[in-house]
Amino acid sequence: MIASRARLAPCPFTDRSHPMSRFANISLVNFPTLPPDEPDRLQKTLDRMCGYVDDAAQEQSDIVAFPEICNCLDTADPSDVAEPLDGPTVTALSQAARQHELYVVCPLIVSEEGRRYNCAVLIGRKGEIVGVYRKNFPTHPELEAGVTPGVETPVFETDFGRVGLCICFDLNYWEVGSGLCQNHAELVIWPSMWAGGRMLSKWAMEFGFNMAAVWKEQSTFVDIAGRELLAVKREARDRTGRSPVVTARIDLDRRLLHPDYNLENLKALFKRYGPTAAFTQWLKQDCHLVFGSQVPGLSSDQLIEEFGLETMRDYLARVRRDRKAALAAVAGPVYANGQTVAQDGERI
């Protein structure tokens, strides 16, 4: 399922007769930023970044991502390095994406209509801008420096799956992960300035998407069940000369289920399509079930719809709705631990 610095075979997702094997090759770059006083710093940085896109292409990557604002990290004033979307950084990475026909996640400070945003730009295989994510929760130093918070959690359609983006401090905020979940992300790429740790697993399990975390000293891949598939550390002053590109091969057609209300429907699935119709892995300690279609021509989502299966994310959403309805049906105040609370849980 995973590989690092290996030469990989073409991805099966390109064969649309077998969508159940929807693998994608995902590359992350442990890219240390050049010192702020480096002569021609931006141009040298962009040359190196484009070189790492070349490396990712050699690994037959579908998408390559860089750490948070790695083109200008440690610059005191974001206004000094803010660029328009057609500025030198996006232009250089767009040319590299088009040359190698892969997607690139390009983090930078973007200047738009007099405002500055901490962004991650998704560039497509033809060098076009597929979408832009604006960091929802900038840190206090960013806010004080004039960075404007984003307000959306978009998910972008690619030819290998639905990709969401978030940035660094966003990982601390449930509403960002929830928004990406509601928009049906299958893979969330997280450019950052820290490793993420157990928060990556928490998000993956709760929201039902794979995660790829990239900062200058570590790249980490976590699957939908919250399991760390691969973590590669790299010293900031690495002198080995090895490429900082790390690649993993992940099946984006896998789904996370809860056993409640699904077991009988799974039996019906196997009865109709045979005992090898789906990959299933029971994770007893977590009370989760990893599910993936193995029926030629049918995706996991198609089987889920056909047999009325319910993903973990949909199950949790249904319980939340039913809880709200149950509280709405209660006449008068609700009591908890001697306190009177409103129906939304707030004390009154």
Model pTM score:
0.88
Which residues lie closer than 8 Å to 250 by C-beta, 6 or more apart? Answer: 1, 2, 23, 24, 26, 187, 210, 221, 223, 229
Please tell me what DSSP assigns to residue 347: B
The domain boundary, picked from 251, 275, 294, lies at: 251
Backbone angles phi, psi at 133, to 5 degrees: -105, 135
Amino acid at 25: N
Within-domain flag for 7: no
Q: In 3D, which of 90, 28, 99 has the Cα closest to residue 244? A: 28
Cβ neighbours of 251 (radius 10 Å) = 22
Same domain, 307 and 243: no
Q: Which residue has the tokens 């196997």?
A: 270
Predicted pLDDT of residue 338? 58
3-state secondary structure of 219: strand
Q: Tell me which residues of the chain have a pLDDT lower than 70.
A: 1-21, 75-79, 235-242, 332-348
Predicted pLDDT of residue 347? 43
Same domain, 323 and 307: yes
Same domain, 323 and 229: no
Predicted pLDDT of residue 200? 98
Got the DSSP string for 97-112?
HHHHT-EEEEEEEEEE
Same domain, 120 and 201: yes
Same domain, 176 and 274: no
Q: Are 171 and 203 in contact (CB under 8 A)?
A: yes
Q: In 3D, which of 17, 29, 75, 9 has the Cα closest to residue 245? A: 29
3-state secondary structure of 118: strand
> How many structural domains compose the chain?
2
The upper half-sphere exposure of residue 329, i.e. CA atoms within 13 Å in the direction of its Cβ, equals: 6
Predicted pLDDT of residue 5? 35
Same domain, 67 and 150: yes
- Distance, in Å, from the CA atom of 253 to the CA atom of 245, rounded to the nearest integer, reads 24
- Integer angstrom CA distances of residue 112 from 66, 83, 123, 147, 154: 22, 8, 18, 11, 18
Within-domain flag for 206: yes
Cβ neighbours of 206 (radius 10 Å) = 17
Within-domain flag for 323: yes
Q: Which long-range contacts (CB under 8 A, 24 or more apart) does 235-241 make?
A: 236/32, 237/32, 238/32
Q: What range defines the domain where residue 323 resides?
A: 255-328
Same domain, 16 and 73: yes
Q: Are 58 and 95 in contact (CB under 8 A)?
A: no
Got the DSSP string for 246-267?
EEEEEETT-EEE-STTTHHHHH
The domain boundary, picked from 233, 251, 269, lies at: 251
Q: Where are the alpha helices (DSSP H) in 59-122?
A: 88-100
Same domain, 162 and 281: no
Same domain, 201 and 281: no
- Distance, in Å, from the CA atom of 3 to the CA atom of 246, rounded to the nearest integer, reads 8
The percentage of residues in the chain with a pLDDT greater than 90, rounded to a whole number, is 77
Same domain, 159 and 288: no
Got the DSSP string for 297-338?
T--HHHHHHHTT--BHHHHHHHHHHHHHHHHHTS-S-EEETT
The domain boundary, picked from 229, 251, 273, lies at: 251
Sign of CA dihedral 279, 213, 186, 128: negative
Q: In 3D, which of 225, 129, 136, 234 has the Cα closest to residue 177? A: 136
Predicted pLDDT of residue 6? 32
